[in-house]
Amino acid sequence: MRDHVKLFIPGPVEVSPDTYAAMSAPMVGHRGKGFQDLYAEIQPKLQTLFGTKQLVYISTSSAWGVMEGSIRNLVKKKVLNCCCGAFSDKWYDVSLRCGKQAEELKVEWGQPITAELIDAKLATGEFDALTLVHSETSTGVLNPVEEIAKLKAKYPDVMFIVDTVSSFTTVPMNFDALGIDVLLTGSQKAFAMPPGMGLFTASEAAYERSASIKDRGYYFDFHEFKANGEKNMTPSTPCISLIYGLRHQLNKFFAEGLENRYARHARLNALVHDWVKRNGFEFFAAEGYRSKGLTCVKNNKEIDVAKFSDLLKKRHKLLIDGGYGKIKGKTFRLSNMGDETDETMGELIAALDDCLAAL
């Protein structure tokens, strides 16, 4: 029996012992060659992963830091917050708290945001930025980012800010081909690292917009990131131990091969989907728009979700999520992000069967 409760919640996810071990490398000074070499070593790998020639930045914050930073750096006139669940809804709140004009584009939870809906809003000419969550982690919806990004050609002055926190490295991402302005993610989801690190990249247009905005603060100033990034450094003392972990995880990703990594996430996600169907459950997310790194199961059988997850923890030392916010108990969520394998997902599924039968 394992010595700890293993996480199958959609973030943070389980961190492998080899990743923790990699993080315990001796400290270096962040203004010295040791750190610059570390940054320079991982930069090309990050660029490949993001599909960009732009610099990729490491932020010592959780993803929300970069999200707030994106609003402060890029919104001058008014931002359109595309809302389809708890995380995307929160973007609206954050925009207002940054003192920006903002408007929600709302769809029912479980439904995707479509390009047509966004097009109709942007056509008003009111907006100079939009926020989109790629994989809405509360509902398991994967929004059609490729189709939405095509609108950028029609609205070049609108900054497209995309949160890929729970989709990044589960499906391919190509920042330059999408032509969007900010792509951001965090360490504790599919990267399978401890929380505390945000990662992002930005377009030339984003730097231009940002240069014209005065009150963008210091900690998340895109121009501070750029000036330091060009020297393989970060604006302030970074989470160096997490960066050691990142170097290790990136080496694992490339040893596996990115295509194999995406295929593995699709395959493991399909195992969960099979379990859902086999047991008469339904999906909360609309068909054709489902995340590859997590599954939001609709509790159409009206089981006692709290008891179910309690049993999983007591009997198997596995933690699943009992539903987020207003859909707590009406749904539950299972993650397949990170370092999981056919074998470990098989263990989860056997445990789910065991506990479902025991309810």
Ligand X SMILES: *Cc1c(COP(=O)(O)O)cnc(C)c1O
CB of 304 to ligand X, least distance (A): 26
CA 359, distance to chain mean position in Å, is 33
Q: Which residues pair with 59 in a beta bridge?
A: 198
Size of the site for ligand X (CB under 6 A): 12
How far is it, in rounded angstroms, from Cα 136 to Cα 109?
9
Residue 216, CA distances (Å) to 43, 132, 221 in order: 25, 21, 6
Q: Which is nearer to ligand X, 188 or 351 (CB)?
A: 188
Q: Which of 14, 89, 128, 163 binds ligand X (CB under 6 A)?
A: 163
Q: Which is nearer to ligand X, 11 or 235 (CB)?
A: 11
CB of 347 to ligand X, least distance (A): 24
Contact 163, 67 (CB under 8 A): yes
Q: Which is nearer to ligand X, 134 or 316 (CB)?
A: 134
The yes or no reply on residue 133 touching ligand X (CB under 6 A) is yes
Query: Half-sphere exposure (CA, 13 Å, Cβ side) for 277?
Result: 6
For the chain, the maximum distance between any two Cα atoms, rounded to a whole number of angstroms, is 61
| 333 in a known ligand binding site | yes
Strand order in the sheet with 182-186: 56-59, 198-202, 182-186, 159-163, 129-133, 79-83, 102-106
Binding part of the chain for ligand X, among 160-168, 214-222, 255-263, 344-352 by CB under 6 A, reads 160-168
Q: Which is nearer to ligand X, 23 or 294 (CB)?
A: 294
By rule CB under 6 A, what string of x and - marks binding of each residue 259-288 to ligand X?
Answer: ------------------------------
Could you give the angle at which helices 240-256 and 258-278 cross, rounded to 10 degrees? 90
Q: Which of residues 41-100 bind ligand X (CB under 6 A)?
A: 62-64, 87
CB of 104 to ligand X, least distance (A): 16
Tokens of 285: 């997310």
How far is it, in rounded angstroms, from Cα 82 to Cα 30?
38
By rule CB under 6 A, what string of x and - marks binding of each residue 6-25 to ligand X?
Answer: -----x--------------
Query: Half-sphere exposure (CA, 13 Å, Cβ side) for 237?
Result: 4
Which residues of the shown chain bind ligand X in the complex (CB under 6 A)?
11, 62-64, 87, 133, 137, 163, 165-166, 186, 195
Annotated binding-site ranges for substrate: 333
